Structure 1
Amino acid sequence: MKLMDCHTHTQFSVDSEADINKCIKRAAELGLAAYAITDHCECNGWYKKEHYSENEWYLRESFDYAADFENSVSAVTALKEKWAGKLNLICGVELGQIIHDTEAAKIVNADKRVDFIIGSVHQVRGEQDFYFIDYEKMTMDEIYDLLERYFKEAYEVSRTDLFDVFGHITYCLRYMKQRNGINADISRFDDIIAEIFRDLAQNGRGIEINTSGLRQGFGDCFPSLKYVKLFRDMGGEIVTIGSDSHTVEDIAANSADGMEIARAAGFTKLAYFKKRKPYFIDIT
């Protein structure tokens, strides 16, 4: 069974230095059935720094994602032509914080060069990205309040039509566990997670099984098997696999493990997107 990777980053993401040409060559060497480049585009940093007030600066990792988006999409579009017939190369984007600036999200959605959009929530209103939060300074009540706000924003995102697949739905747990050993129990949010999944399923959108946690010390995928099963129970049909690689070496890392989770949850096929439409590969 051929593997696929529908969530990867290159030199056009602020947190990656992976050479795009080397990434594509690696994906071809691996014989991937589908390979999507999904560089970061954070809607709440779409404009140049001067557009935002000084009080907003600390909430943003960087600015001018409009330029990053154009640079990535232009490069991938050109390389799709070069690699035609040799690699199923997909022009994607990881679109963060959609509801923080829906006008920016609409610009991305209107771009006909884009095959695939992952909708992600990396931070909630009034907070930094989960990566930058100091969880040691927080009480468990504060942590659960933060998680509640995350899932409420995820619910808002799920009710838009500005993406194709919800990315790493349990991203909010990553750094508090990896760095601080905090194991928050999100079962208290299962009702709203079920509502998120129901909205996605009813509107023809999917979730990804993000395998990065398996290689980064978290110990599981985002989300875990429990929640992939819940998505299935809510009528979900579209599931993608993504390594969330930021280096050439991590492309398709643990993709086989993600595929096994999909099977265990009852899925018989995995999806990739072209021109914003899902195509399926049998995994039985």
Structure 2
Amino acid sequence: MILIDCHTHTQFSVDSEADINACVERAAELGLDAYAITDHCECDAWYPAEHYSAEESEFHEKTDYKADYEASVAAVTALKEKYAGRLNLICGSELGQILFNRDAAQVVCSDKRVDFIIGSAHRIHGEKDFYFIDYTKLDMDGIYDLFGRYFKEVYELSRTGMFDVIGHITYCLRYMKQRHGICPDISRFDDIIAETFRTLAHSGKGIEINTSGLRQGFGATFPDLKYLKMYRELGGEILTIGSDAHTVEDIGANVSDGAELAKEAGFRYLAYFKERKPNFKKIF
């Protein structure tokens, strides 16, 4: 079985303290076929705090992601040389909120050091990151309105092409179920999800299986088997797997489960990226 982890974070992500050297050494010890470091780079908080108005700052837990991005890419680039021949190390970036600042996204997309870009929607216009929303203050109509806007933004993200795969589709579900046991039925959004998948398949872009939900109390991947099958049936071919690890210990977590799920969904190959081009490897 091919074992890849194409979504991980280190000390250069605001929500991680994982030492980058320890992360790379751990990936090498695990014998991963491909390992990508994809530290956070939120386009809506690309500049230092003084750039933003008080109203804009309300939605930012941190600013100046440009500095984090530069530090991460420089560190990974040096480690790629150090581990050449021992580890297939990939220099990546998790590029959040591309729709908010396409100029910032273009800087990352144009950087020749970057092998791989995950496009993610951690928040939507007029809302904080889904992590910080208090779902107990919303009734079900409010939750479904929030989800409708999320899936619309993911669709609009798919049309930009400023990424290689879209990360953790169905991210909007993560925290309300883990913390409050709220389990909305997102099947009412299947039409726009399907249109997103068609757009990705047509444009040669992909999605990931994000395995974090399997170890964090959610009980499923993002997206789950139903939507992986939908993506495959609509022509999707590019599929990566990522643990979304924010600690050294979680690197590679459940990626074998992700590979099994990919096979069940009808995929024969997984992908990892080098120089922004997919490399396909048989799952088994």
TM-score (normalised: structure 1) = 0.99
Which whole-Å deviations, capped at 9, do the CAs of 1:195-216 have from their partners, x for residues lacking one?
0000000000000000000000
Within-5 A mapping of 1:100-179: 100-179=100-179
Within-5 A mapping of 1:188-199: 188-199=188-199
Counterpart of 1:97 in structure 2 is 97
Within-5 A mapping of 1:16-35: 16-35=16-35
Equivalent pairs counted in the alignment come to: 284
8 Å CA contact 2:9–2:245 kept in 1: the answer is yes
Please give the alpha-carbon distance, in whole angstroms, between the structure 1 residues aligned to 2:61 and 2:85: 38
Counterpart of 2:4 in structure 1 is 4
Counterpart of 1:35 in structure 2: which amino acid?
Y
Please give the alpha-carbon distance, in whole angstroms, between the structure 2 residues aligned to 1:98 and 1:120: 8
Counterpart of 2:206 in structure 1: which amino acid?
G
Q: By how many angstroms is 1:2 displaced?
A: 3.5
C-alpha RMSD of matched pairs (Å): 0.5
Q: Percent identity?
A: 71
Within-5 A mapping of 1:47-66: 47-66=47-66
SS at match of 1:159: helix
Counterpart of 1:222 in structure 2 is 222
Give structure 1 regions of 4+ aligned residues with deviation exceeding 6 angstroms. Answer: none
Counterpart of 1:143 in structure 2: which amino acid?
I
Q: By how many angstroms is 1:58 displaced?
A: 1.7
Counterpart of 1:234 in structure 2 is 234
Which whole-Å deviations, capped at 9, do the CAs of 1:193-250 have from their partners, x for residues lacking one?
0000000000000000000000000000000000000000110000000000000000
Please give the alpha-carbon distance, in whole angstroms, between the structure 1 residues aligned to 2:77 and 2:126: 35
Please give the alpha-carbon distance, in whole angstroms, between the structure 2 residues aligned to 1:219 and 1:209: 13
Please give the alpha-carbon distance, in whole angstroms, between the structure 1 residues aligned to 2:271 and 2:39: 19
SS at match of 1:221: coil
Q: By how many angstroms is 1:146 displaced?
A: 0.3
Q: Tell me, which stretches of 5 or more residues in structure 1 are unaligned?
A: none
8 Å CA contact 2:2–2:283 kept in 1: the answer is no
Q: By how many angstroms is 1:57 displaced?
A: 1.2
8 Å CA contact 1:77–1:91 kept in 2: the answer is yes
Q: Does 1:254 align with 2:254?
A: yes
SS at match of 2:160: coil
Q: Tell me, which stretches of 5 or more residues in structure 2 are unaligned?
A: none
TM-score (normalised: structure 2) = 0.99
Please give the alpha-carbon distance, in whole angstroms, between the structure 1 residues aligned to 2:62 and 2:152: 25
8 Å CA contact 2:2–2:281 kept in 1: the answer is no
Q: Does 1:80 align with 2:80?
A: yes
